């Protein structure tokens, strides 16, 4: 997902948090503002028409209105599924910022042409196969360095995931423990095989978390993370993402960038809201 709409009621929050929004979206539309699409220029646009626009143009919605979407299923038959999650907390407005993802229940199942499916995935139950293909498609967008590489995709039940390089790049994922972080971690291993990144598991975690906010849906496997920070991972994901990006910059002149990142995690003032 690369586009998002900012609802009327959270514009004040949005201007203060634009860096976080733009770290996840390439196209930001604010209702009634000049940089928005023509259809969104009307300040009085109805909630239902916003929903229709999101569905038609494949974009997300950020809002604090907890009632706007209740009638959408009855009012518009095109909406089959809503996914609602907490994106942030607006301290001044004293309410959560909701991320609403609206779709017609169709997943992105047109597999990247450079990805070949192993028999283990091809014969898997559709709910597993479809989920893996959809999430891998979305993750590969964040790895343009792999756009010309042939990748073989399969299933493992031994661990969360693994990556190998024999005659070709292979990744295997566990459908029962699948996260974007795991996918990003294994794709980062492929960059290591290409000789572009240092070959340690902790460095894999850092480069994965620094690449995109998409991959911050769970704590990493190998980095030393304080227990409290793990418990409030979502609330602090933007700061964690920045620490990892800063540690990669620090690495340009210092060898102890991993220790630097872990120290930064330990000293982080943890947001619990």
- Count other Cβ atoms within 10 Å, centred on residue 228: 11
| Residue 26 · residue 7 · CB < 8 Å | no
Q: Are strands 115-117 and 60-63 parallel, antiparallel or unpaired?
A: unpaired
Alpha carbons 95 and 54: distance in angstroms, whole number: 23
Instruction: Return the pLDDT at 222.
Output: 96
Instruction: Return the pLDDT at 58.
Output: 77
| Residue 243 · residue 226 · CB < 8 Å | no
Average pLDDT along the chain, 273 residues, taken 10 residues at a time: 82 90 84 77 79 80 79 61 82 87 60 87 88 89 92 94 89 93 96 93 97 92 95 91 96 96 96 80
Q: Is 216 exposed, middle or buried (0-12, 13-18, 19+ CB in 10 A)?
A: buried
* Domain positions in the chain: 3-103, 115-267
- Count other Cβ atoms within 10 Å, centred on residue 180: 20
Instruction: Return the pLDDT at 248.
Output: 97
For residue 84, what are the CA distances in angstroms to 5, 63, 158?
14, 10, 32
Which pTM does this prediction carry? Answer: 0.66
For residue 218, what are the CA distances in angstroms to 9, 82, 96, 229?
29, 22, 20, 11
Can you point out the beta strands (E) in 8-125?
27-30, 60-63, 81-90, 95-103, 115-117
| Residue 188 · residue 208 · CB < 8 Å | yes
Residues 67, 70, 73, CA angle at the centre, nearest 5°? 155
Instruction: Return the pLDDT at 175.
Output: 92
Instruction: Return the pLDDT at 109.
Output: 57
Instruction: Return the pLDDT at 254.
Output: 95
Instruction: Return the pLDDT at 55.
Output: 77
Alpha carbons 169 and 91: distance in angstroms, whole number: 46
Instruction: Return the pLDDT at 3.
Output: 83
Alpha carbons 152 and 171: distance in angstroms, whole number: 6
């Amino acid at each position: 997902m690369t586009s998002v709409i900012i609802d009327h009621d959270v514009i004040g929050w949005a201007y203060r948090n634009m860096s976080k929004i733009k770290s996840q979206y390439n196209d930001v539309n604010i209702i009634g503002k000049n940089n928005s699409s023509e259809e969104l220029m009307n300040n009085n646009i109805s909630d239902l028409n916003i929903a229709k626009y999101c569905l038609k143009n494949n974009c997300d919605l950020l809002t604090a209105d907890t009632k706007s979407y209740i009638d959408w299923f009855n009012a518009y038959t095109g909406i089959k599924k809503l996914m609602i999650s907490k994106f942030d907390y607006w301290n001044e407005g004293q309410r959560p910022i909701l991320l609403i993802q609206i779709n017609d229940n169709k997943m992105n199942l047109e597999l990247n042409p450079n990805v070949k499916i192993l028999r283990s995935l091809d014969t898997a139950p559709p709910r597993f196969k479809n989920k893996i293909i959809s999430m891998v498609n979305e993750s590969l967008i964040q790895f343009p360095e792999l756009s010309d590489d042939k990748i073989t995709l399969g299933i493992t039940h031994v661990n969360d995931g693994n990556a190998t390089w024999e005659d070709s790049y292979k990744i295997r994922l566990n459908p029962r423990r699948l996260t974007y972080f795991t996918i990003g971690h294994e794709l980062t291993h492929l960059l290591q095989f290409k000789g572009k990144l240092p070959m340690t598991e902790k460095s894999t975690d850092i480069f994965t978390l620094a690449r995109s906010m998409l991959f911050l849906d769970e704590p990493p496997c190998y980095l030393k993370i304080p227990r409290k920070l793990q418990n409030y991972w979502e609330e602090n994901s933007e700061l964690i993402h920045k620490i990892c990006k800063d540690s990669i910059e620090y690495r340009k002149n210092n060898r102890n960038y991993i220790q630097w990142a872990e120290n930064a995690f330990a000293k982080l003032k943890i947001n619990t809201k």
